[in-house]
Chain A
Amino acid sequence: AQTVTQSQPEMSVQEAETVTLSCTYDTSENNYYLFWYKQPPSRQMILVIRQEAYKQQNATENRFSVNFQKAAKSFSLKISDSQLGDTAMYFCAFSAADKLIFGTGTRLQVFP
């Protein structure tokens, strides 16, 4: 069975600073995808970034980038130039064979 672990229940960062959210996972699958989703108070789950496990290059999407360490089963999210609108719950997620499962989440607060 796959598991996704986020060890930081809450994080805070000042506007314009950089913050890194951690995620580890466990799987015996070879072909899988990893995602970071954001859920603001409006409750809409929004995709932030995705990483294909077969790709060695780390994914980047504007201010968001990941550090994907396949051997260590680690998948951290770096948010650069943090903005007030980044305040949300962030979930790391794993997908294989039609199954998409989520970590426990990290609540990120961005302060002015």
Chain B
Amino acid sequence: DTEVTQTPKHLVMGMTNKKSLKCEQHMGHRAMYWYKQKAKKPPELMFVYSYEKLSINESVPSRFSPECPNSSLLNLHLHALQPEDSALYLCASSRGRGGAQPEAFFGQGTRLTVV
């Protein structure tokens, strides 16, 4: 099973709403990532969790709050977003440091629209 599952696939939210994006993997991977991708642009790294601890935060605004409840799950909590936050949000996982297979596997993404 090389699947990373993201829910929901599409999300429309108002600027005052609170919502969460979810990501799940059952490959035993110990590194999990959140990326933001605007149209016709590359994915931009937001957060990295390594062994369930936040290891990288790429200066992401606090209206985005990541959470890693366990080694299989990764959440991204959203609050008071702006229209410019509309994008495709991708989750990925990899074996982590020292892993024999360093490649990251990606979910299909959540298409977020902020109105």
* Residues of A near any B CB (own CB < 8 A): 33, 35, 37, 42-47, 50, 52, 91, 95, 97-105
Q: Interface residues of B: mostly helix, strand, loop or mixed?
A: strand
Number of A-B contacts (CB under 8 A): 51
Q: Are A100 and B104 closer than 8 Å at their CB atoms?
A: yes
Residues of chain B lying within 8 A (CB to CB) of residue A35: 103
Q: Are B42 and A45 closer than 8 Å at their CB atoms?
A: no
Q: Interface residues of A: mostly helix, strand, loop or mixed?
A: strand
Cα-based distance from A46 to B104 in the complex (angstroms)? 9
* Residues of B near any A CB (own CB < 8 A): 31, 33, 41-43, 45, 48, 50, 55-56, 88, 90, 92, 94, 96-97, 102-106, 108-109
Q: List 24 A-B contacts (CB under 8 A).
A: A33-B102, A33-B103, A43-B108, A44-B108, A44-B109, A45-B90, A47-B105, A50-B102, A52-B102, A91-B42, A95-B102, A97-B97, A98-B48, A98-B96, A99-B45, A99-B48, A100-B45, A100-B94, A100-B104, A101-B45, A102-B42, A102-B43, A103-B42, A104-B42
